[in-house]
Amino acid sequence: MSCLFNSMSYFLKEDSSTIRQKICDYLENNDKIIDGIETKEILLMDSNNYIPNMRKTSTWGGAIEIQSACNIWNMSVIVHDIRNKRNDKINFIPINGNVNKTINITWSGGHYEPIRN
């Protein structure tokens, strides 16, 4: 399982496999990740097999999956980069601007972890 999907499952109360598949379905339907560019075009920059590879439990998720989750669940995801003392943050928000909840996760450069309250 991917640590990103496991981290999201802590907040969404759905298992990580379901979250992964919902995000892949979202991408497969060519639903918007960002305004101004087709989702299919973004995915083709990486690989012709992006979605089939992402459906595998051994594939790690990243920014595309985080943004898709924001759009699906109308949530903001704040990623705390813990690789340095500045604790830089990246705030992902849904493209429609409607935020129903905010979740915080850490990223160490190779691992995501939920920030538990």
Q: Using one digit for the tens of pLDDT, what is the confidence trace for 12-57?
A: 989 999 999 999 999 999 888 988 888 988 888 888 899 999 999 9
Q: What are the residues whose beta carbons fall under 8 Å from the beta carbon of 49, sequence distance 6 or more?
A: none
DSSP symbol at 60: P
Helices (H), 1-116: 3-12, 16-28, 39-44, 50-54, 63-73
| Architecture of domain 3-114 in this structure | Alpha-Beta Complex (3.90)
| Structure confidence at residue 1 as a pLDDT band (50, 70, 90) | low
- Report yes or no on whether pTM surpasses 0.85: yes
pLDDT of 93 strictly over 70? yes
Handedness of CA 65, 68, 69, 75 (dihedral sign): positive
**Domain residue spans in the chain?**
3-114
pLDDT in tens, 102-112: 999 999 988 99
